[in-house]
Amino acid sequence: MTPSNAFLAALLQRGLQAVIVAVIVGVVSFAMMQALPGDAAYRIAAGRYGYDMMDAAAADAVRAELGLDRPWFAQLVDWLSALAQFDLGRSLVYGTPVIDEISTQLGYSLLLAGGAVLTSLMIAIPIGIAAGLKPGGWLDRLTLAFSVFLRAIPAFALGVVLVLVFAVQLNLFPVAGFRGPEHLVLPSLTLGLGLAAVSNRVVRDAVAQAMASEWQLFSRTKGLSARLTVLRHVVRNAALPVVTYVGVQMAYLIEGVVIVETVFAWPGIGHALVHAIFGRDIAMVQGTALTLGLIYVALNLLVDLACRGIDPRTRTA
């Protein structure tokens, strides 16, 4: 198989996977929302009108407006047929098109996630390499202790501490909101530190393993300097598990984004998803879950491609 054919095959495979994920995520999230206790019309009315204006009459009005008394399969079929036409419907609570909400919020969330991953790599790679070059050294032990400490702090507490130090005391960055790049720093750092706490250890292990390998010794024996050995061979070999791990970190990122977005008043998709679940906004939940599912697929594709680029063996095999 030529490289370009293999590339197309991977793309096709992931494309098929995307369609399957879309249908399954949509159906499963619909089923889960149906299974929640409580009357959806009451919950939606509560989300819309707030406790000062919400009452049984408002719930009845919502039920009639949205046709919530129709059988569940009719509602699911409606959603699936609309989805086939790339229509995600309107938010049951806010009345705005789901696609509008998601496209705004997803942009903010991706920005935050990107900032977090970038921050984590900027921290994890240098520290991990340094620690991995001398396993068991003082830096290795110190970063291990620090990593455990950071991973153990909830993102919420870490965020508040960072705000107290960098925003309130030092007045370097804003507390919350999203007006400019400076607003991205503290939320990215909050998430990035949590990510780096684990990924620096992954880098360290990969580097330590590479350094202990026979080919490393061979490369030194054939006359490459220590620096060139690390740059040409160790980094490349160690990169594989690290790139794969960054993909896996998506799960932590989604969980972290929900909390960090709330703390920093960031208009992202995680925060919106939680609100949609509380408000029984089925259309929003389905749309958001679908988007996140597809991002997972896309991310897996990117990781595949990156690994293919890093590891020449997969290309010829």
Partner 1 sequence: MLKLLCVATLAAMLSLPTTARSEAAKAVTVAAPWEVASYDPAVSGFAIQKLQIMENLIDADETGTLRPGLATFWEASQDGLTWTFTLRSGVIFHDGSPFDAASVTSALTRAWKQPGVLSKAPVTGISADDGSVVFTLERPFAALPALLAHATTIIPSQTSFDGEGKPNALIGTGPFKVSAFTPPQSIDMVRNDKYWGTAPTIEKASYLAAGRAETRALLAESGDADIVFTLDPSGYARLKAVDKVTAVAVPIPRVVTLKVNASHPFFADPRARQALSMSINRAGIASAITRFPESAAGQLFPPALNKWHDPELPALTHDIAGAKALLSELGWAAGEDGILVKDGERFSILLRTFPDRPELPLIAAALQDMWKEIGIELEVSVSNYSEIPAGHRDGTLHVALYARNYGLTPDPVGTALQDFGEGGGDWGAMGWENAEVAKALNDVAMTSDDAVRAANIAMVTGILHAELPVIPIVWYQHTVSVAAGLKGVVIDPLQRSYGLSEVYWGK
Site for partner 1 contains 48 (CB under 8 A): yes
Give the separation between CA 101 and CA 278, rounded to whole angstroms: 17
Site for partner 1 contains 39 (CB under 8 A): yes
Site for partner 1 contains 208 (CB under 8 A): no
From the list 22-30, 74-82, 122-130, 215-223, the region that binds partner 1 by CB under 8 A is 122-130
Give the separation between CA 163 and CA 229, rounded to whole angstroms: 41
Give the separation between CA 161 and CA 168, rounded to whole angstroms: 10
Binds partner 1 by CB under 8 A, chosen from 57, 84, 152, 317: 57
Site for partner 1 contains 126 (CB under 8 A): yes
The angle subtended at Cα 112 by Cα 310 and Cα 188, nearest 5°, is 90
Binds partner 1 by CB under 8 A, chosen from 164, 212, 226, 298: 164
Q: How far is the CB of 116 from partner 1 (least distance, A)?
A: 13
Give the separation between CA 274 and CA 140, rounded to whole angstroms: 38
Distances (CA, A) of 273 to 63, 246, 251: 22, 23, 15
Distances (CA, A) of 280 to 29, 47, 61, 111, 226: 11, 8, 16, 27, 59
Site for partner 1 contains 113 (CB under 8 A): no
From the list 23-31, 44-52, 214-222, 290-298, the region that binds partner 1 by CB under 8 A is 44-52
Q: Residue 37 or residue 71: which is nearer to partner 1 going by CB? A: 37
Site for partner 1 contains 59 (CB under 8 A): yes
Q: Residue 92 or residue 253: which is nearer to partner 1 going by CB? A: 92
Answer whether 112's CB lies under 8 Å from 257's CB: yes
Give the separation between CA 224 and CA 211, rounded to whole angstroms: 14
Supply 192's token pair.
Answer: 């990035």
Answer whether 272's CB lies under 8 Å from 284's CB: yes
Site for partner 1 contains 117 (CB under 8 A): no
Site for partner 1 contains 246 (CB under 8 A): no
Binds partner 1 by CB under 8 A, chosen from 2, 86, 179, 313: 179
Binds partner 1 by CB under 8 A, chosen from 17, 75, 104, 213: 104
Site for partner 1 contains 317 (CB under 8 A): no
Greatest distance between any 2 Cα atoms in the chain: 83
* Site residues (vs partner 1, CB under 8 A): 38-39, 42-43, 45-46, 48-59, 61, 90-91, 93-96, 101, 104, 119, 122-123, 125-126, 129-130, 160, 163-164, 167-168, 171-182, 185, 189, 227, 262-267, 272, 275, 278
